[in-house]
Amino acid sequence: ARDWAVLLLLYGCGMRVSEATGLTGDVLPLGQTLRVTGKRNKTRIVPLLDNVREAIEGYLELCPYPPAKGEPLFRGSRGGPLSPALIRRAVQGARKRLGLPEKTTPHALRHSFATHLLAGGADLRSLQELLGHASLSSTQIYTAVDTAMLLDEYENAHPRA
């Protein structure tokens, strides 16, 4: 339940591993948004999808360590903060079970979040805010991915490509 909740956070909110492991009981009770502290202690607000919220709440119901303000939300088996290595291992296990490529890493889930939002019509400024990028140039890399996907679809679908 813990691993599922963390993986949904990475993809569903575009969070970095350090941001997910940095969440504390201060975020409770969960609402429609989540305050995330990212690189350089920059804080941003991200929408919290219903299924992500339900996964976190499901984990908290099963967790033997009650959440407390200032304490890690996601805990290891002994009650300490969840290790980023455990998150990487969870992604690796999911990757093997689902037959996903080796490139599927925790950070790749964040990239998928951004790419899917952009492909769905999100504008770059909104995406920049959701990802917590300091500059727009960091976010613009996703336009190249989107263009590559469009060209690939064109070549596969156009009768004269």
Tell me phi and psi for residue 81, to 5 degrees: -60, 145
Catalytic residue among 16, 44, 53, 59, which? Answer: 16
Structure tokens at 5: 């909740």
Examine the residue annotation and report whether 88 is marked as an active-site residue of this protein.
no
Examine the residue annotation and report whether 96 is marked as an active-site residue of this protein.
no
Cα 75 from Cα 97, distance rounded (Å): 24
Catalytic residue among 35, 89, 107, 125, which? Answer: 107
What is the per-residue DSSP string for 51-96?
HHHHHHHHHHHH-SS---TTSBSSB-TTSSBPPHHHHHHHHHHHHH
Examine the residue annotation and report whether 116 is marked as an active-site residue of this protein.
no
Catalytic residue among 2, 44, 53, 110, which? Answer: 110
Examine the residue annotation and report whether 107 is marked as an active-site residue of this protein.
yes
**Shortest CA distance to 54 belongs to which of 97, 111, 104, 12?**
12
Examine the residue annotation and report whether 69 is marked as an active-site residue of this protein.
no
Catalytic residue among 35, 39, 42, 89, which? Answer: 39
- What single letter denotes the amino acid at residue 34? L
Examine the residue annotation and report whether 39 is marked as an active-site residue of this protein.
yes
Catalogue the active-site residues: 16, 39, 107, 110, 133, 142
